Structure 1
Amino acid sequence: MARPYRILAVGALCAVGVSVGVQRVAERREAAQAPQPLSVLAAFRAAPVDVALADTLRSGETLSGLLARTRLDSDAAGALLAELSQIADPRSIRPGLVVQYRMALRDGRVRGMSTRLDADRSLAFRRAGAGWAAEVREVPVRADTAVLAGTVRQSLYQALMDGEGDVPRAERQAVADILADRIFAWKVDFSRDLRPGDAFRILYERMVRPDGTARTSKVLAVQFSIGGTPHDAYLFTVDGAEDYYDGEGESLRRAFLRAPLEFRRISSSYSTGRFHPILRRVRAHHGIDYAASQGTPIRAVGDGVIQKVGWGGGYGNVVEIRHQRGYASRYAHMRGFAAGIRPGTRVRQGQLIGYVGTTGLSTGPHLHYEFHMNGRPVNPSSIRYLTGDPVPGGARGRFRAQRDVRIAAMERSSGPLLAANPRPDTSRTRQRG
């Protein structure tokens, strides 16, 4: 009876031994698979530690000198400057430019650099083998709409600059430029047509940066009362192209601009009999004189072909352009001509053709502007302008709906304030290298 017991006991002990052995093997396997202490892993896997530094370009210093202070070797600095020249002109960089860079503590090697090109772009460099790769990053912006409203006292420009509210002057000036030189350039001469008391409302879109500054994107709608006569304009897209139309959907685009200068003032009007200040006698003045500072850009009032460029006697330096349907324009007393302006050259409406000067029979810097029809001088203000195409019939309903929404936005505003909820806009990045 005792023997079977002993056999059972041995079997039980063997089972226990096997169990213990299996448990110890499992413990050893788990120990081998268990993660090592964090301090060991950190020392084994951590990348070299970088330190962030910044330096400023000093007065009279070149970018090469600044890079030398970062202990960047000459080959790397040359490669970086070569990459920079593909994006921006190094000569345009001014003192005060801040350059940020990352340097490895282990060996003091510069691993990356960045700087701000302008308010809307930053430039980052990273090591790419023996050279550098550049990345232009656009500052993320969000779009909102704002309204400028006011009354003219002296000029539209002055009214916008003196307006109430916290809209920056640069933003106001950008809006004024769009009004005078794109929207109403064919219809209103802001130097002569506006009168004290004329009222305006302007709805425009702006792109707001993270720091709160903004750049003007586009003017969406305008309402003007000029001498008691209402004028309006609305931006609308037809077949993928944006243009401005009046409240009835008629195009504001014309074959000829009302004036060849931006933000101008009249010093002498069209007249059949004017006392000439140099010749000291009365004679016809078949044109308009625009007083402006030396070097003010002069633009072609319409599409055409250059007929004459050069000296014109009493006209001084002169440009003459032949336009469609027998029209021609003349620009006199110029200081000089724009690049590429020569007889036979085709120019587009608004294209730069030269600069204001005081050559020829002139008492001071100004532009003498004439307009001719079939060889006869005519008052530019009396020309019947050829119009662009209106909003197509199939798009009239969409145009009216969009127009009414924008009118309501302007009418809700009595000054410079936000007129709609902001909508987000994604930032964009361009890569080089």
Structure 2
Amino acid sequence: MARLGINDPELEKFIYSNPDAAVFAYPRRGQFALARVAGNGQVISLSMYVEGARNRNIKTTITRDAKGLTVASAPFKFDSHNSMAAIRVGRSFAAEAREAGVPSDIIADANRVEYRNSPLLRKAGRGDTVSLIYENRFIDGHLVSTGRLLGIELQHGKEVTPLYWFEDGTKGGGYYYANGETTEQTFRRYPLNSFRISSPFTTSRRNPVTGRVRAHEGVDLAAPRGTPVYSVSDGIIEAADSSLSGYGNRIDINHGNGYSTRYGHLKGYAKGIRPGVFVKKGQLIGYCGSTGVSTGPHVHFEFHVNGRPVNPVKVAIQTNARIPSRYYAAARPRVTALARQMKQLDAVQTASNGKTVPVMSADQVKAALAAADTPASKKKQQG
């Protein structure tokens, strides 16, 4: 009470004798209180704001009038406003984020966001950018706490991963793509949209060209020459050449977590496909052909787990994972707005030549973006 300038014995007696005012007797660390105090130290009004589970927040207020002290409680809502920052990683994300004004609890939350069964920021390195959107909570115009990390985006080389917080029925919710897809790795079952299996996975098969009996470590997907071939999941191209005997033009993709795939006998490669390039699930990588040891147009498709070939038809993979539709529908307007703010933040950082953008409000980001679009600003950037 002394920190609020209160010197009021009557108030103290009221608090300890009235069960409805017990929240003032034993306040928890971090709780927010507002007081109006007369010059003599007596309370005119005193409010305590208690945050509860599932937004059941209670404001308890003691008021003094001519008749004495009374107490009343009512629900309240925080006023929330978003803050944003884009951190260009140098020596460490945490160090640069602190220098940019990002609160320590938001930094900690960012480091806990999972992507593909490991922390998203584990692969953040020098020159990458981590963009953050988080909420600040206000009561009667007073900043009282930092809220939730609402959005995080990692630009790792040419790979961009934007994730947003959704309530999903679990304690604390989770982070998903803006369209509601999970961050867990998912796969297409096959790399072609239309085909027939002309030769199955087997431990013993007579090769129709050489006549030799040996294992067939994939499935042959027959389709017309030139049929588009797609990556079955996100990954890094490890090979795109004809150096492997019998496979003709082939592509090898490392999907991480012990998963890799191979696509053989291709007619050719899609534009930009080369070793080291990151590809997304469903991205065009090549075209069905009959190069190498082949009797007709098809794609020889292999699926490897920890370096060992497995049957692509039967391997246990997650083919579709989305947030339940009722949670997605409820969050969609909010997440759509966050995704728009993230694009604005990215544009501001681009206009600053990729430098760190310190903590700004959403309105400040809009203003900075508008300033970057002025003719004078463009002339300065070009000069």
Shorter-chain TM band:
0.3 to 0.5
Query: How high is the TM-score relative to the length of structure 1?
Result: 0.36
